[in-house]
Structure 1
Amino acid sequence: MAVVLGMVIAATSVAAEPASIDAYMAQPRHAADEVVRYGPAPSQVAELFLPKAKGPHPVVILLHGGCFLKQYEGFAQTSAIAADLAGRGYAVWNVEYRKLGEAGAGYPGTFQDVATAIDLLRAEPPKRDLDLSRVIAVGHSAGGHLALWAASRGRIPASSPLHAADPLKIGAVISLAGIGDLKGQGRVFAAPCGDDTIDRLVDTAGRKDPFADTSPAELLPSGVKVVMVHGVFDPVMPPYTGRDYAAKVRKAGDRADVETIPGAAHFDLVIPTTAAWAAIVGILDREMQRLAHGS
């Protein structure tokens, strides 16, 4: 992905000078306040970043990108925006999950990891000073898909291994260059991430209807507000993909906004020193206020 994304981003950098993949990868690791293992695999881990002030704190579930592939990082890099959000008064649950190339990844493992980690937030929320009435999932790229999927889990039928009887309620999703329609937009995602990545993720070879419980577009309406955020120069998931998915969400009866950030590409959205990130914080503040007022 680094070579492909680097080449494509370089083509736009003369006009927009967006953040490079190197700038994204070079972000220092930030230490969490708590590290929780939710399974025996090395990737079955989540980090909790807490504000210094007294709570209860609104919660951000953070899901990193990286094409769902083991060879690309993401968990360490998202610790930078997790630390930034904790400094702004949010409790942040930074989730790692098994990726393709790791034992047990793909279907159903990757999805079960995300679900397990998210539902673990309900363990002793008073001890952690968390306000679970105000929870927003924020995901970047592949993590954007997982955030949208996590908010739709209540629609998954009981016959699926991904079904959960009582999934943690997510109040809104902010998808940062994420993919909501695996079937309809899979070819766009394939350009930087590989032609067979989605097929491997959802097991198209072994399943009759592989998107039914894995693609957020197939799980609408979810009843959850969605905000699709894209950099105007993003070559990985261009802004039209967010507009198209938002249209599907609205058609199904749910609420959806689209935010296109000027001068930004794919990685500006997850580097806390960029103007794009400042805009995203504004979106998060707005949506959290909406939840606080029950709207």
Structure 2
Amino acid sequence: MAATPWTLLPYGALPDQVAEITVPDGGGLLPLVLLLHGGVWREPHDRKHIRPLAAALAATGVVVANVDYRRVGGAGGWPETFDDVALATDTLVDLVEAAGLADVDRDAIALVGHSAGGHLALWASVRHLTDAGVPGHRGTPLAISGVVPLAGVVALSSLQRTGPDADSVERLMGGDPATVPDRYRGADPTLLGAPGCTVVLVHGTDDQAVPVGTARDYAAAHRGVELVELPGTGHFEVIDPASAAWPSVRDAVHRALGTSTSGSMVPGGDPVVSLPA
């Protein structure tokens, strides 16, 4: 199923408050993915580098909103990055329909994010568990069927504390947990509880940026979370539709949506799947 070119759709008044909407050929009621790119929450990393994944997902019959947001080094950080993700996830489904781009199946909406975007996707799914007054707080759960962090930063302590990105979390949050503990309590998914929807973690065992152990810990701590480990897979293969990881990523997204697609195993090593208890 070929995908049509994407359409730029603002969800706010600021330059970074936009999403690229890719709609599959055909019609009818369609599932929708809100896709959040990674890049350690920093400029210059934006939605462009995840376009191939957006196109590949759309080709499986899914409307994809490739969401951008304010980032550290520009106008982002705490609370602006979180405000943008909250606004996008609260409004984009309605905006897609209002623009006449697609009719969305409200029972098949998923959040998908890579790396830092995986953190934001998981956080967006638990915003209703934050305290009132916390940036991005919702009074009710977000109406989604599932969330899929791809090599996701499921805990803000997940990143390796070496190299040029060693201070990424502190720059995002405006300090460390000892300095701004209330911010971390409102932003770290591991401190907020389970989303209450389908959660499928997809993580490579050779990921050097976000170690797979953090995904294992999250899955062990939250009943019903599915973990798909990809042997021999690193940090970026999970967003490359040309990689061996693609079938597992595609199938995980459709499980989160509650829709079906043809499945296949990862060449050179089957995924290791920890099923919900």
For normalisation by structure 2, the TM-score amounts to 0.84
Match of 2:9 among 36, 41, 63: 36
Q: 1:99 to 1:275 in 2, by over 3 A?
A: same
1:277 aligns with 2:250: no
Q: CA deviation at 1:123?
A: 2.0
1:95 aligns with 2:64: no
Structure 1 gap segments, 5+ residues each: 1-29
Q: CA deviation at 1:192?
A: 5.0
**2:33/2:112 contact within 8 Å kept:** yes
1:263 aligns with 2:237: no
The residue matched to 1:123 in structure 2 has which SS? Answer: helix
Q: CA deviation at 1:136?
A: 1.2
Aligned to 2:165: 194
The residue matched to 2:69 in structure 1 has which SS? Answer: coil
Aligned to 2:268: none
| Letter of the 2:54 counterpart | A
Per-residue displacement from partner, 1:178-213 (whole Å, max 9, x unpaired)? 11121xx24x34335623221121223663422111
Q: Partners of 1:282 and 1:122 in 2: how far apart?
A: 22
Aligned to 1:175: 149
Aligned to 2:255: 286
For normalisation by structure 1, the TM-score amounts to 0.79
Q: CA deviation at 1:164?
A: 2.7
1:242-253 aligned within 5 A? 242-250=215-223
Per-residue displacement from partner, 1:216-271 (whole Å, max 9, x unpaired)? 11110321222111112111112211101111222xxxx21111112321111101
The residue matched to 1:148 in structure 2 has which SS? Answer: helix
Q: 1:161 to 1:232 in 2, by over 3 A?
A: closer
Q: Partners of 2:220 and 2:151 in 1: how far apart?
A: 16
Q: Partners of 2:54 and 2:252 in 1: how far apart?
A: 16
Aligned to 1:108: 79
Q: Name the Cα RMSD after superposition.
A: 2.2
**2:199/2:256 contact within 8 Å kept:** no
Q: Partners of 2:88 and 2:25 in 1: how far apart?
A: 23
Q: Partners of 2:148 and 2:254 in 1: how far apart?
A: 11
Structure 2 gap segments, 5+ residues each: 261-277
**1:31/1:79 contact within 8 Å kept:** no
| Letter of the 1:114 counterpart | V
The residue matched to 1:83 in structure 2 has which SS? Answer: helix
Per-residue displacement from partner, 1:146-200 (whole Å, max 9, x unpaired)? 0100111111221223213356322211111111121xx24x3433562322112
| Letter of the 1:190 counterpart | R
| Letter of the 1:63 counterpart | L
The residue matched to 2:122 in structure 1 has which SS? Answer: helix
Q: 1:235 to 1:119 in 2, by over 3 A?
A: same
| Letter of the 1:120 counterpart | T
Q: 1:219 to 1:273 in 2, by over 3 A?
A: same
Q: 1:290 to 1:223 in 2, by over 3 A?
A: farther
Aligned to 1:60: 33
Aligned to 1:4: none
1:45-56 aligned within 5 A? 45-56=18-29
| Letter of the 2:6 counterpart | D
1:235 aligns with 2:208: yes
Aligned to 1:132: 106
Runs of 4 or more above 4 Å deviation: none
Aligned to 1:77: 49
Farther off after superposition, 110-119 or 217-226? 217-226
Q: Partners of 1:247 and 1:257 in 2: how far apart?
A: 10
The residue matched to 1:82 in structure 2 has which SS? Answer: helix
| Letter of the 2:145 counterpart | G
